Structure formats: structure tokens, C-alpha cells
Amino acid sequence: MNPTAPSLETPQAVDFQTSPGQYRHWVLRFDGDLARLTMAVDPDQPIRPGYELKLNTYDLGVDIELADAIQRIRFEHPSTRAVIIDGALDKVFCAGANILMLRSSGHAWKVNFCKFTNETRLSLEDLSARSEIPSLAACNGATAGGGYELALACDEILLIDDSNSTVSLPEVPLLAVLPGTGGLTRVVDKRKVRRDRADVFSTLVEGIKGQKALDWGLVDKTAPSSQFEEVRDGMARELGAGGPDRASREGVSLTPLEVETDETSRRYSFVSLENGDDSRIVDLVVNLPEEAGPVGGEAIREAGAGWWFFQALRELDDALLHLRVNRPGVNLVLFRVRGKVEVALAADAAMETEGDWFLDEVRFFAGRVFKRMDMTAKTFFALADEGTAFAGTWLEPALAADRLYVLDDPEVEVGLGLSKANLGAYLMGNGLSRLETRFLGDEETLAKVAANLGPVPASRTEELGLATEAMDAIDWEDEIRVHVEERASYSPDALTGMEANLRFAGPETLETKIFGRLTAWQNWIFQRPNAVGENGALQRYGTPIRPEFDYSRT
């Protein structure tokens, strides 16, 4: 991966596109229907200079490759039945996030690094839950901190029993922070480790090994060095047994996205980012094609990654990641989908073909892209004005936005519409659709909206509860300008906290807990002097000087 694309706000922007031939830190290979993903971090290839990635520690560059590998297993190798994740180093699986990287990074970088890490691990769990491709963490050595958190994201954990190798979450005693990228949540919610034992485990620098790790539920099996590979392969094949017949599936190559950049814009084939006069505001536009394109699974599979629907989603995903990491100064995103409602709804109708693995995977991917939008710390205003087509799948970004403004003018064509996809194809982290979240507890309105599948006139959007506000042409320009200027003037810190609270109404899930606790960790614990102060634990980690703590507790 070569993070060399130009950026307005960072000297060297991060490129989130990579491929197995470019990997520096992972080896992806296949043995029949088993995928093996080996962590082999090159210590001399950090994503930014200034630290070494020793002991299979990771940074954003390592995670970008992992995310790409998971995506390629799904699309390019759909006959895969199970994934083995192991380490290339002797006596080390993974020592977690690189501490020197964290120490030298600003707050925004740490936040976005940890957020992307979480999303990648959730995609690994989604690989099992929705694509029915489970994963095994084959911990061939010490598994610490973020390394154990990666293992926790797998379906099962095998730990080598060599009298030395342990699993551990040592952040509290070593760094004065906590296992905030899913560690604590998965230990108790996913693996059901008893609370008191989890408390002990999370304060042991040395971790827990062998039979005790097995007895406490921290791992699923242990094996001595002489039997480790045999047990590993047996567990993986058992995990992959059953499920649908995959032998006849032919993969779809994920070709690179083409993007043109200059000082004010970033343009893909279907997606564009354009700067306004205010650098804190950008226009994000998805442009639908003139025609709906191929219909039917076979024709769509032949189009592959070039199918406009899939390509537009991939471009939107890349644009969102670019906004997060490379454009920290952007506060407000004005989002539009331009095109024809008929095209959007026809593509959704084509997506309804049952039993087609590729269409299923595209739908699952769309869900992950929209979740990425949910978790992006930018304000999103969806603007439905002349020439827009927020319909079906492409209505989801408008429902994910913080506000949806609709131009209601009988002389102007403003396209909106609903499809079956809006009723549950794309669930949020809370386990609900965006319509269910929008109308939480209001079953009557939800049923009314669900009864109006197809094109929706702009004049009915307020009645159906879809529009934040519908305005006539006289008010549109001035009112939008006022709303935009007002929002862009607010504190982004306050807005991030407000939006994160408002976007996830409804039930708590493992996923919302992970991101909620991550937010608390990053915006409180990870900013306190006990962790990052001059004499804090993160600053003094690896030195002979002990940290100094303020022992006042709040």
C-alpha cells in the first residue's frame, strides 16, 4: 500500500486501496476451501515514519490490508468455507497496537485508527454471521492487547500450550487506558467470561495461559507445539463443515478504483467530493447511471466489480474513509444522489434475486458502507433538490444523515422512493433498520411508510416522516444556506458527541457497546494525563521510569 494520494489537509494522505500483491504485513493463501491469513508484519514498513512494528504490532496500514483480505475472501474466493488467522513469528501471534505509533499520534489519528480497527473486526464477525465463513484464531504464541482483541473477533481461538504463551489484555496496568477496541465487550458479552474473572484477567500484565485460559473460557482449545498445526487444521475444517454448497462459485475480481484528485475535488466514476467556498463544508454526490444496467444474477456477475451499483458503493466507502482520515477539517457534508428514481428502484428489484451469492455479498457490503457512514464523525445533511434520486438502497444514506431537507416544488423534478430494501436489508449497529430507528416506537407511522413502496412525491415526505423539512422554491436557497452556515459554525467536538448519541436510538447491542465504549475511552481516558501526560503511562511505557498518576477518582 502506498499512501501517496494528495490531500488538502495532510502532507501525505492515506490510500485505503491495496491488494494481496501489495501486502507488506499479511500473507493470504488458500488450501482448497480453507483460507489462511498469516500476520507477518514488516517492522520497517509503518504507514508513517517514526516507529518500528516489532512483534507483529499493528498500525492503520496493517489494518487496511486485513480489511482488504477479508473483502477479497468474500468476493474473489467465495468457495472458502473457513479462515485461519495465525502469526508468522516464532512464539508471537500479535502484540497489539503499536505503542510508539499511539504515543506519537494526534487525537484524530488515534480515533480514526481505532474506529477502522473496530469496523474491520466487525467485518470479520459479519463474514461468519452473514456469509457463513467462520474464522479461527490460531494463536501460535503470545497474544496481547489488540492481538487478543483480533482473536476475540474470530469464532474460535486455539492457543499453543508451550508453557510460555498467554492471552492478555494488559492495557489497564501497563498504559493506564483500557482494551477499548472491543476487548472488554467481547470477553463478557461474546465469550461470556464471568465478570470477576474478567476483572482479574484485565489487570494481569502477564496474562493467562494453558489450561486456565481454557477453563476460564478465554480460548476454545489448547494444543502443544508438536500437535498445533494438526489441531489447527482440524478445528478449521470442523468450523467450515456444513453450510451451502460453494464448490461451483466463481469469484469476482475486485479491480482497483480509479480516482482523479486536485486541490478542490476527488472524483470517481459515480461518486465525487467537491469543496465549497468554506473548507469546512464539502459536497458528496453519488451519480446514478442513465440506465439500470444488467438484470439477473448471471448478467450482474459477468459485470462483476464493474457493475455500477457495486462500484458506486465501493467508491462511496473509499470517499467516506478519505473524509475521515485525510480531511479532518471538514465539519459538514452535503450529500446528494443524482439520477432517476426508476434506475435506483430497478437496481433494487434486480437485487431481490434469491440464492445468488454475489448479490447477497453486494447487499451485505452495502450494509457495511452505510454503517461506515453512521460511524463517521461528520455532520451529514441530505439535500433532495432538483435532479436527485434518493430511492431504495440510495435512500439509506439520506436516512443515515442527520437531516434530510426536501425541495417541494411541483415544477421541479425531485426524486425519492422506497423499496423492500429499506425495510430490513441494511440494519444499523443497533440491529434495526434505519426506518425502524427513525420511527422508534411508532409502529403506525412505520406501517404507513412501508405501505408506500415505489416513488414518493416530495409533497408527501413530511406527511410520511421522511423529510426533516420540506420547503418551497422561494425558501429553499436561503433556508438551506442558514442551516448550513449555522451547523458549520458549531464546535465539532460537541457535534460529534451529540450525533453519536442521537444516531443510535433503540436497543443496545455488542456493536453499539463497542463503539460507545470506544468513544468514552478515546474522548476521556485516552486524553487524561494519567495516560498521555508527560509523566503518564503511555509516555513512559518501555522506559525504566514508572508513570505518575493523579489518584483522584471521578
**What global pTM score does this model have?**
0.94
474's grid cell: 422561494
DSSP 485-538: HHHHHS-HHHHHHHHHHHTT-S---HHHHHHHHHHHHHHTGGGSHHHHSTTSHH
Low-confidence ranges of the chain (pLDDT < 70): 1-11, 520-523
Residues 6 or more apart whose Cβ sits within 8 Å of residue 16: 64, 318, 321, 322, 325
Closest CA to 249 of 301, 285, 177, 309: 301
Burial level of 19, CB count in 10 A (0-12/13-18/19+)? middle
Query: Which pLDDT value is given to residue 4?
Result: 33
Quick check: 181 and 157 in contact, CB under 8 A?
Answer: no
Collapse the DSSP code of 417 into the 3-class scheme (helix H, G, I; strand E, B; otherwise coil) and give the result.
strand
Cβ atoms of 309 and 293 within 8 Å: the answer is yes
Do 260-502 and 20-240 have the same topology in CATH? yes
Distances in whole angstroms, Cα of residue 282 to Cα of each of 42, 96, 277, 315, 320: 37, 35, 9, 16, 12
Residue with cell 464546535: 491
Contact criterion met (CB below 8 Å) for 37 and 69? yes
CA 407/CA 454 separation, integer angstroms:
19
pLDDT score, position 5: 30
Where in the chain are the domains? 20-240, 260-502
Cβ atoms < 10 Å from Cβ of 305: 15
- Assign domain 20-240 one CATH number from 3.40.109.10, 3.90.226.10, 2.40.420.20, 3.40.50.2000: 3.90.226.10
Helix (H) or strand (E) holding 112: helix 107-129
What is the DSSP pairing of strand 281-287 with strand 271-275?
Answer: antiparallel
Q: Tell me, what's the pLDDT at 3? A: 35
Fold of 260-502: 2-enoyl-CoA Hydratase; Chain A, domain 1 (3.90.226)
Closest-CA residue to 338 (of 414, 266, 276):
414
> Quick one: which of 222, 248, 244, 225 has its CA closest to 235?
222
Sign of CA dihedral 93, 97, 99, 104: positive
Per-residue confidence (pLDDT) for residue 183, from 0 to 100: 92
CA gap 508, 270 in Å, rounded: 35
- Rounded to an integer, what distance in angstroms lies between the CA atom of residue 516 and that of residue 508? 10
Of the candidates 131, 119, 147, the one whose C-alpha atom is nearest the C-alpha of residue 82 is 131
CA distance 469 to 46: 47
- Whole-angstrom distance, CA of residue 21 vs CA of residue 28: 10
